[in-house]
Amino acid sequence: MANSWYSYLGAGKDPLVPASYRRMTVKPECVCGPAICSIYLLGETATTPSAAFTPNILTYISNALTNGSPQPIAAGGGLKLFVYMKSGCCG
Per-residue model confidence as pLDDT tens digits over 68-87: 899 998 766 667 889 999 98
Overall domain count for the chain: 1
Domain that holds residue 79: 4-86
Q: Is residue 38 part of a domain?
A: yes
47's CB contacts (< 8 A; 6+ apart) are: 22, 23
Q: How confident is the model at residue 1 (pLDDT cuts 50, 70, 90)?
A: low
Q: Is residue 33 part of a domain?
A: yes
pLDDT at 59 over 80: yes
pLDDT at 88 over 70: no
Average pLDDT over residues 60-71: 93
d(CA 40, CA 53): 11
Q: Is residue 91 part of a domain?
A: no
Could you tell me the pTM of the whole model?
0.86
Q: Is residue 11 part of a domain?
A: yes
Residue 66 burial (C-beta neighbours within 10 Å; 0-12, 13-18, 19+): exposed
